[in-house]
Structure 1
Amino acid sequence: MVVTASSPSAPLIWILAGEASGDVLGARLMQALLARNPAIRFAGVGGVRMQEQGLHSLFPMRDLAVMGLVEILPRLRALSARLNEAVQDIEARRPDLVVTIDSPGFALRLLRRIAGLGIPRVHYVAPQVWAWRQKRVKEFPGLWEELLCLLPFEEEFFSRHGLLTKFVGHPVLQSGAQDGNAARFYQTHGLKEGARVLILMPGSRRSEAPRLLPVFGKMLALLQRDMPDVVPVIPVSPVVAATVARETARWPVRPVIVTEIQDKHDAFAAAGAALTKSGTSTLELALAGVPMAVTYRVNPLTAFMARRLIRVPHVAMVNLLAGRAIVPELLQEQCQPAVLAGAVRDLFENPEMAAGQKAAFRTVLEGLRGPGGMLPADAAAEAVLHLLANTAPAAQVPQSAPAGAEKAG
């Protein structure tokens, strides 16, 4: 059976997310779209959150959750096969619109492959070329009809290069990270109220966590000498929960591993300090008011190449948005047990440092509100529906042609 473009009253949106953060973003977007048009149908690739909104994922999202210049090499053949599968599904279904979310390594290749189909395309979360390899922006014209960005300075950056871009606000403001209940967390996990809770966030990808967890374990061994009451808590996505449990089985202190959103936010409310990878997790912690240090470790070759390409003064998102170092960045060679242990002690025992971070967090977060005070997911949904309403429908596949017969240009 040949599937043709949907009717205006029941549009089909093909949507893709490649990692846990994109899955959350996609779910909120789907929910906002359905609130405006309950007849909208979805196809594509996503995780648990998007599936809760009605998506039947073409293949497991975890197949795409990989990062790093070196780490991706062993996965190239499998990723290429998944790319072909996604292209063929779009060719067969002929959706009214395609939305790709973050994961630029996969998403931008997909957008390029389907360029000849005449289907309007939206990319949600701007590629961070303003941070490194800025010349890559010249490759983007023709990849999408509209780019939805999360950071206020991105709209001007991409518009300057002739790309239709809209700032919709940062989704961390909808995360609920500030609404946790500390007492509930202590009770749920049988902890003594007032215990020193330390949040450890090693990353949401299977390729990230194994690099940071061994260092975190050795750091905890050092902390036990003078801070034996520290309780490590690791919020992780279900994608990496088994990996984290395996990697931490021999730690000197067994961590509390949480996978539920509410439990994570309760942990934030109970926490006195955090060690986190760079990225959106810093904004979640900032929203919850948790003092933090940022740390990260990748393959040495990846780090060497990245340092030659990075064009921004800070790696941590909160520092980048603040324009100054409000939280410590302990990266690569500084990602060592003794260094991290010292940073944790400072966070717990220096109230002036903690208060200074929290004050700076509030200023940073104020700048992430969407246009007109609209919630980010609502602003994104409005942009998607506007494009859908103002773009001619994709050319239909002739009834005599076999499904998937048209190839992307």
Structure 2
Amino acid sequence: MKFFILAGEASGDRLGAALMAGLRQLADVEFVGVGGPLMQAEGLESLFPMDELSVMGIVEVLPKYRHLKRRIRETAEAALASGADVLITIDSPDFSLRVAGLVKARKDMRTVHYVAPSVWAWRAGRAAKMSKVIDHVLALLPFEPPYMEAAGMECDFVGHPVVSEPRASAEDVAAFRTRHGLGDAPALLVLPGSRRGEVGRLGPIFGKALAPVLAKRPEMRLIVPTTAHVAPLLREVVKDWPAEPLILDPANMKSADYKIEKACAFGAATGALAASGTVSLELAASATPMVIAYDVSWISRLIIAMMLRIDTLTLVNLVSETRAIPECNGKHCNPPEIAAALEKMLTAPGAQLAAMDLTMERLGRGGEAPGLRAARAVLAGMGRQ
């Protein structure tokens, strides 16, 4: 079987790689499409660099609109010419669903979308619109299938891949601390996003927020995992931070080695300051207390605020049905409020642990690996299981 598979950002690359590994375990398969380093490590030769698609925010997309529109056409043409049995699009719905629409308009190719759009959060009408071009949805969150099925699509909850990510052992964490000269110092993970736009916007705010925290805790070390395409910008941004962080850059590292290095960083951390997104689940999986902070341009903020149907953007809060994870989003994403939230989190980190544990349980911890579950669902939808 041949699959055309498309991912547009780092979180989608992780999902795609796990799905590809699962499909390869269950069947004789071939892949073509667009993906990042993890999908490429599974054998995909990407049509173009995936990071060209990593754009977030309504206004932020506008300068790249023509380029993205051209890439949509090119990707759809490549899918049609590939002879693939199935088109699998992963997250990035503004790009992915346009590709699926162009493909469906010319060929009755089966389409699978991995990651249900958050219609429970905003733009509820997306599900009905999506059903015109998508046959089958793979959902990461347990409460999502009814929304998709009500719109006329098949939908399977396959679990979130974060539950099957290995946690670093105490020995590995100790070796990590020794390797990087951390000793017994408390460490704070700082995660300003995986997109250049996020790092450029949030990095300076995070740096100013860290100043009063480090003034009270001069022994605390900062650790910043990043991605290869964001690392050069990040190195410029952190020059203005109150302390030099340890930057974990995957450049010139094997993906498996970087995965271990990142897991050790999460295991070594006392807490974290992170942009909103999948990283909150990664932190929950490692039982790392956190503060979430996020913002977009002021125009995007106003538009999104009018559409939102929920009072939290943090997946741990949503899945656990609590509000245990503190957020500083939108107008609250400013240094004084972030610094105050960090102080509270560092003083009483245990307040978040129950919500994080419940989240992992509900996302499928202890069951079959989500990538393999997703692969089974794809093949079952094709009548091959």
TM-score interval for Structure 1 and Structure 2 normalised by the shorter chain = over 0.9
Q: What displacement does 1:179 show?
A: 5.1
* 1:211 is aligned to 2:211: no
1:373 alignment partner, SS class: coil
CA distance in structure 2 between the partners assigned to 1:196 and 1:338 by the alignment: 22
Q: Is the 8 A contact 1:179 1:265 kept in 2?
A: no
Aligned to 1:184: 175
When normalised by structure 2's length, the TM-score is 0.93
Aligned to 1:379: 373
Q: What displacement does 1:178 show?
A: 5.9
* 1:107 is aligned to 2:119: no
1:148 alignment partner, SS class: strand
Question: Greater CA radius of gyration, 1 or 2?
Answer: 1
CA RMSD of aligned residues (A): 1.7
Aligned to 1:7: none
CA distance in structure 2 between the partners assigned to 1:236 and 1:367 by the alignment: 28
Q: How many residues align?
A: 375
In the alignment, structure 2 segments of 5+ residues that lack a partner are: 250-257
What is the identity percentage for the equivalent residue pairs of Structure 1 and Structure 2?
A: 39
Q: What displacement does 1:264 show?
A: 1.4
Instruction: Pick one of 8, 12, 16 that aligns with 1:18.
Output: 8
Aligned to 1:81: 70
* 1:201 is aligned to 2:199: no
Instruction: Describe how 1:276-315 pairs up with structure 2 within 5 A.
Output: 276-315=274-313
* 1:230 is aligned to 2:233: no
Aligned to 1:118: 108
* 1:356 is aligned to 2:343: no
CA distance in structure 1 between the partners assigned to 2:167 and 2:327 by the alignment: 22
* 1:324 is aligned to 2:322: yes
Instruction: Pick one of 336, 360, 385 that aligns with 1:365.
Output: 360
* 1:344 is aligned to 2:342: yes
2:243 alignment partner, SS class: coil
Instruction: Pick one of 39, 43, 49 that aligns with 1:50.
Output: 39
Aligned to 2:122: 132
* 1:60 is aligned to 2:58: no
Q: Which amino acid aligns with 1:381?
A: A
Deviates most, 209-218 or 243-252: 243-252
When normalised by structure 1's length, the TM-score is 0.88
CA distance in structure 2 between the partners assigned to 1:250 and 1:214 by the alignment: 7
Aligned to 1:158: 148
CA distance in structure 1 between the partners assigned to 2:302 and 2:259 by the alignment: 35
CA distance in structure 2 between the partners assigned to 1:319 and 1:151 by the alignment: 12
Aligned to 1:95: 84
Q: Which amino acid aligns with 1:183?
A: A
Aligned to 1:246: 236
CA distance in structure 2 between the partners assigned to 1:272 and 1:390 by the alignment: 46
Deviates most, 169-178 or 262-271: 169-178
In the alignment, structure 1 segments of 5+ residues that lack a partner are: 1-10, 392-409
Q: Which amino acid aligns with 1:271?
A: A
Deviates most, 64-73 or 159-168: 159-168
2:162 alignment partner, SS class: helix
Q: Which amino acid aligns with 1:99?
A: I
